[in-house]
Amino acid sequence: MPDGPRGFIFTPDGFILTNSHVVHGGERISVLTPDSGDFNAQLIGEDPDTDLALLRIDAPVLRNVKLGDSRKIRVGQLVVAIGNPYGFQYTVTAGVVSAVNRPLPPDESGSSYVSFIQTDAAVNPGNSGGPLFNLDGQVIGINSQIYSRTGGYMGMSFAIPIDVALNVKDQLQKNGKVARSRIGVAVQDMSQPLSQSFGMNTPHGALVSAVEPQSPGERAGLKPGDIITSVNGRNIDHSSDLPVVISQLTPGTEARLGIWHDKKATEVMVKTILLEDTPAQAAKAAGADGGGKLGLAVRPLKPDEQQELHTRGRLVVEDVTGPALAAGLQAGDVILGVNGSGVSTVADLKREVARAGHSVAVLIQREDAQIYIPVDLG
């Protein structure tokens, strides 16, 4: 594809990495090298979830790029992108790393398994699959996407980190497909009000809002209100970091989770399981609510209402005022817990709110989702 997107040869025996969307559905894949000619490529495998594909060509003499370590990337460092934008072959653009571990919404990235490298190196249609180099000439990423309202470059480009690409490559090369892990928890980002509620000095980590029954997370003792701060020593700064890190583990292996539980740091071991195409829905936990300082009017749920709402929560919000209204709670929310403690009666709720101090983290079920909402009590 002399005028099309690019990939790069990373081994002397002809293995090539590129984007899945570059080759997906192609009946014949042709690779043109600058010094060795035109070759038919074999598609070893592709992974649409990370937009990566592994190819191989059979050629006598090939030069390959050197690979770097994307975990060493720092914001502000200089980078270089190479591609064929609009058919201009071997175009080089330069910029800096604008952000690392940048999650994109699923409707933009198509995946929750990649935290991207964001750069301001000019990337346009035709750059897809091309390498992103550091100044040592090592590939640290694969240019994949741009943010644009016009179809062209607008100052933000996104590359798949090379460590993610190599994990996918290893699995495609060995099995022809990618198997991912999960531990059966739903998480959300931390905020300053939430960190205060859970006794943390600074907001970081992935706040567990739900744990599936009989899941690895439940067997490890994880509960809503626990905050996962690391996996096998790798920091979890945001909730989006957790599925990326967990998914790269081999299903069935044990992982060491650093967690913040009951206002102190500890560790638990969890055994991962295979991430199915349609994973089980996150579990619902027990809950409650009570008015008072929160500004909530609640009532107990009847058994038939619990069944209709698919919840094990016991209290439903009927009216919202004051701090709860300002925080975003709504009538119809089912209260599941406060600051990591489950509540099943109004008395439970009032007790936990009274213990909380100036802020509380209220775990609610809204439709089929569970989420913590921080409430500033003043």
Phi, psi (rounded to 5 degrees) for 173 = -65, -35
Q: Are residues 46 and 86 in the same domain?
A: no
Residue 285: what pLDDT?
Answer: 27
Q: Is the pLDDT of residue 64 over 70?
A: yes
> Vertex 269, ends 268 and 272: CA angle to 5°?
135
108 within some domain? yes
Half-sphere exposure of 62 (CA within 13 A, CB side): 23
Residues 150 and 229 in one domain: no
Higher pLDDT, 334 or 358: 334
Closest CA to 159 of 111, 96, 115: 115
Residue 37 lies in a domain: yes
| 156 and 195 co-located in one domain | no
Q: What confidence category does residue 281 fall into, taking pLDDT thresholds of 50, 70 and 90?
A: very low
| Mean confidence (pLDDT) of the chain | 84
Please write the tens of the pLDDT for every residue from 29-41: 888 887 767 888 8
Catalytic residue among 20, 47, 49, 51: 51
For residue 178, pLDDT over 60 is answered with: yes
- Domain of 238: which CATH number? 2.30.42.10
170 is catalytic: no
- Domain range enclosing 150: 68-175
Task: Give the pLDDT band (50/70/90) at residue 106.
Answer: low
Give a yes or no: residue 235 inside a domain: yes
Which is the catalytic residue, given 20, 115, 128, 247?
Answer: 128
DSSP string, 241-281: HHHHHHHTSPTT-EEEEEEEETTEEEEEEEE-EE--SSPPP
Q: How many helices (H) and strands (E) does the chain have?
A: 9, 27
Residues 228 and 300 in one domain: no
pLDDT digits (tens, 9 = 90+) for 199-233: 998 999 999 988 888 899 999 999 999 999 999 99
Q: Which residue's structure tokens are 């690391």?
A: 230
Rounded to 10 degrees, the C-alpha dihedral 120/9/45/79 comes to -10
Same domain, yes or no: 80 and 167: yes
- Residues 192 and 270 grouped into a single domain: yes
Rounded distance between C-alpha atoms, residue 220 and residue 266, angstroms: 13
Residues near 310 by beta carbon (within 8 Å), at least 6 away in sequence: 284, 368
Helix ranges restricted to H, 263-345:
303-309, 322-327
- 372's tokens: 């913590």
289: confidence class by pLDDT, cuts 50, 70, 90: very low
Claim to verify: residue 163 and residue 208 sit in the same structural domain: no
For residue 112, is pLDDT > 80? no
What does the pLDDT read at residue 277?
A: 41
- pLDDT confidence band for 102 (50 / 70 / 90): confident
CA-based nearest residue to 64, from 136, 134, 11, 7: 11
Question: Lowest mean pLDDT: which of 155-159, 249-253, 281-285, 331-335?
Answer: 281-285
CA angle, 231 as apex, 225 and 237 as ends, to 5°? 65
Please indicate whether residue 128 is annotated as part of the active site.
yes
Give the position of tokens 């920091």.
235
Burial of 55 (0-12, 13-18, 19+ CB in 10 A): buried
Q: Answer for the pair 78, 209: CB distance below 8 angstroms, yes or no.
A: no
Quick check: is 51 in a domain? yes
Residue 53 CB contacts under 8 Å (≥ 6 apart), including other chains:
7, 17, 18, 19, 20, 22, 23, 24, 43, 45, 46, 47
Whether the Cβ atoms of residue 79 and residue 70 lie closer than 8 Å to each other: no
Which of the four pLDDT bands, split at 50, 70 and 90, describes residue 259?
very high
- Residue 54 has a pLDDT of 93
CATH of the domain at 29: 2.40.10.10
More reliable by pLDDT, 336 or 304: 336
Query: Residue 354 belongs to a domain with what CATH number?
Result: 2.30.42.60
Residue 126 has a pLDDT of 81
Task: Indicate if 270 and 208 belong to the same structural domain.
Answer: yes
**What is the pLDDT at residue 292?**
59
- Structural domains of the chain, count: 4
Cβ atoms 16, 10 nearer than 8 A: yes
Same domain membership, residue 360 and residue 336: yes
Verify that 108 and 170 share a domain, yes or no.
yes
The pLDDT, as a whole number, for residue 5 is 57
Mean pLDDT of all residues in 121-144: 92
Give per-residue pLDDT as tens, 80-91.
999 888 878 889
Higher pLDDT, 361 or 133: 133
Sign of the alpha-carbon torsion through 228, 231, 233, 234: negative
